[in-house]
Amino acid sequence: MEEKRKAERLKDCNEINISVISDDKNQPKEKNQTNYSEDISLSGTKIRLHTLLSVDTTLKIDFFVSTLQQKITTFGKVKWIKSMIEDQGYEAGVEFVDTPGESIRQIYNYISWKQKRISLYPENVTF
């Protein structure tokens, strides 16, 4: 299978808040949701959701990075969606779009910091 990712992903779980900013009528009524990201890269993230979103839905994503005590705000577009357990949960691949350079720099710094920590203390890292 051909790899389509633009950047290597860091497997890491962070709490996120997503806001649907698309005007699609098929979107959930709940515009703001608290969920989790499962991994992150400079080009996107995989997120877990409680409600189904459509491909091409535009999102505002606030990552709450507890280890650095900061919030990183990005914008993204849903590229794929997959049902997890009997339509009770979903995974979605989100590509970052129109994200400010400062946010990309914060993501880069976080990924670099986390990778360095993993290489120095592999047995103490939790995901």
Which CATH number belongs to the domain containing residue 47 in this structure?
2.40.10.220
52 assigned to some structural domain: yes
How high is the pLDDT of residue 96?
95
Q: Which of 21-25, 51-55, 74-78 has the lowest mean pLDDT?
A: 21-25
Instruction: Please name which of 54, 46, 50, 97 lies closest in space to residue 74, comparing C-alpha atoms.
Output: 97
Specify which residues 14 forms β-bridges with.
37
97 assigned to some structural domain: yes
The total domain count for the chain is: 1
Query: Which residue range(s) make up the domain with 59?
Result: 10-122
pTM for the predicted model, two decimal places: 0.80
Cα 113 from Cα 88, distance rounded (Å): 34
Q: How confident is the model at residue 7 (pLDDT cuts 50, 70, 90)?
A: low
Structural contact between residues 78 and 56, judged by C-beta atoms closer than 8 angstroms: yes
Mean pLDDT value of segment 99-107: 92
Instruction: Please name which of 25, 79, 81 lies closest in space to residue 49, comparing C-alpha atoms.
Output: 81
3 assigned to some structural domain: no
Q: Which two tokens stand for residue 39?
A: 């991994």
127 assigned to some structural domain: no
Helix (H, G, I), strand (E, B) or coil at 3: coil
Structural contact between residues 49 and 35, judged by C-beta atoms closer than 8 angstroms: yes
